[in-house]
Amino acid sequence: MVQGSPFTVQKLFMPGTGPRWLPYGVLILIVAAAPLVFSGRMSYYLSILSLAGIYAVVVIGLNMLMGYAGQISLGHAAFFAIGAYTSGILSTRYGLSPILCALPAVAAAGSVAVLIGIPTLKLKEHYLAMATLGFGIIMYTILRADPGSMTGGIQGMPNIPPLQILGHAADSDRAQYTIVWSTVILVFLFSTNILESRFGRALMAIHKSEVCAAVLGINVFGHKLQVFVLSALYAGFAGFLYAHCSPLKYLNPDDVAHVILSIKFVTMVVIGGMGNRWGALCGAVGLTVLPEVLRLMSSLLHGISSTDIEMACYGLILIMVMILSTRTRKRLLPIPAENTLTQHPIRQ
């Protein structure tokens, strides 16, 4: 398990020994308690938490790619958008029951990830980030231009049906919250299982030194591709949730495919401490909730807009992360291992 990241919530809950299920118990308790706190007129806050949960699914996946395997993607909003729009199009234009859209949404994101991953994962370090950034921009442009008259272009796609569970439409804030957060917990357990295995260890090995991993018998490209596709599957699934389980049930390229959203996902991973699963969860919730908290507080600060404070907060958080991470000698971004071999081109 990766330790030593700036905001180690994990350390708070797991000081060395002790029952491993304790943090999960606390998580389930908090998730279960939120609807009791935010009931009645306050149920609006549950919808914010639902959005945080949806983002958390993306961030849990992206953390595997960035925190574990050390590969940076600045295009994950694109996979989020593919999931959301696939599900949106199938349910509105083809009348498919929303719950059946999950599989095609995830599959679409996954297949695009395979096509994008094969050429781009051969690139190293920041080139991968650039390539995925480019892909994200292309996706955004396509969705806005709407060449096939499917996505609604800049007008967006309204009236997406809510999920039907046992014949009931889940369109209350509370129902959406319950669906989103139960899936978040499942997804979280699922990825914990995946990472605490030889696959997770191989990813950490690749992060530290690709050459070293390769000579130990790890198929570096194969693993990078697998984790890239896996993280895209997560993002696609989150997109599906966003289409049917968010209060708006409305898709717009600016909300789901914008580069800023990709960068937000990356920031959430970084704030959580790269490679820290609990941190990723907290990062996603923290950054989604922050603007709401600031909006509440702005009534106290006359004359200053909440968006200005929000920006200042992001800056402050990033500075804090920088300072703390250098102090703990933890690398914020993957730097090639100090290996004499990296001077020469290395075959994969």
Partner 1 sequence: MALLVVSNLTKNFDGITAVSKVSFSVAQSEIFAIIGPNGAGKTTTFNLVSGVLAPDCGEIFFRGERISGLKPHEIALRGMVRTFQTISLFDTMTVLDNVKVGCHGQARTHIFSAAFRTRAFFEEEVRMTRTALETLRLLGLERRAHEMVGNLPFGQQRLVDIARALAGEPVLLLLDEPAAGMNARERSELMAIIRTLKQRGMTIVLIEHDMDLIMEIAERIIVLDHGEKIAEGKPEEIQRNPDVIAAYLGEA
Q: Which residues bind partner 1 (CB under 8 A)?
A: 2-4, 190, 193-194, 196-199, 201-202, 204-205, 208-209, 211-220, 226, 230, 275, 337-341, 344, 346-348
In contact, 41 and 310? CB cutoff 8 Å: no
State in angstroms the smallest separation of the CB of 107 from partner 1. 16
User: Crossing angle of helices 44-63/173-195, nearest 10°?
Assistant: 20
**Strand stretches in the chain, DSSP E:** 164-165, 168-169
Residues contacting 287, CB < 8 A, separation 6+: 55, 264, 267, 268, 271
- Judged by beta carbon, residue 258 or residue 330, the one nearer partner 1 is 330
Q: What is the residue whose two structure tokens read 């949730």?
A: 241
State in angstroms the smallest separation of the CB of 213 from partner 1. 8
- Judged by beta carbon, residue 5 or residue 288, the one nearer partner 1 is 5
State in angstroms the smallest separation of the CB of 106 from partner 1. 14
CA distances 190 to 64, 172, 196, 221, Å, are 12, 27, 10, 23
State in angstroms the smallest separation of the CB of 183 from partner 1. 15
- Judged by beta carbon, residue 158 or residue 222, the one nearer partner 1 is 222
- Judged by beta carbon, residue 197 or residue 326, the one nearer partner 1 is 197
- Judged by beta carbon, residue 144 or residue 208, the one nearer partner 1 is 208
State in angstroms the smallest separation of the CB of 346 from partner 1. 6
State in angstroms the smallest separation of the CB of 165 from partner 1. 24
State in angstroms the smallest separation of the CB of 146 from partner 1. 36
Alpha carbons within 13 angstroms on the beta-carbon side of residue 322 total: 6
State in angstroms the smallest separation of the CB of 217 from partner 1. 3
Distance between CA atoms of 81 and 62, rounded to whole angstroms? 15
Residues in the chain, overall count: 348
- Judged by beta carbon, residue 196 or residue 254, the one nearer partner 1 is 196
- Judging by beta carbons within 10 Å of its beta carbon (0-12, 13-18, 19+), is residue 246 exposed, middle or buried? buried
- Judged by beta carbon, residue 17 or residue 159, the one nearer partner 1 is 17
- Judged by beta carbon, residue 196 or residue 308, the one nearer partner 1 is 196
Cα R_g (the chain), whole angstroms: 20
State in angstroms the smallest separation of the CB of 191 from partner 1. 8
- Judged by beta carbon, residue 102 or residue 143, the one nearer partner 1 is 102
Looking at residue 141, its amino acid is: T
Distance between CA atoms of 128 and 73, rounded to whole angstroms? 7
Distance between CA atoms of 319 and 149, rounded to whole angstroms? 44
- Judging by beta carbons within 10 Å of its beta carbon (0-12, 13-18, 19+), is residue 197 exposed, middle or buried? exposed
Count the neighbouring beta carbons within 10 Å of the beta carbon of residue 256. 28
CA-based torsion, 118, 121, 123, 126: positive or negative = positive
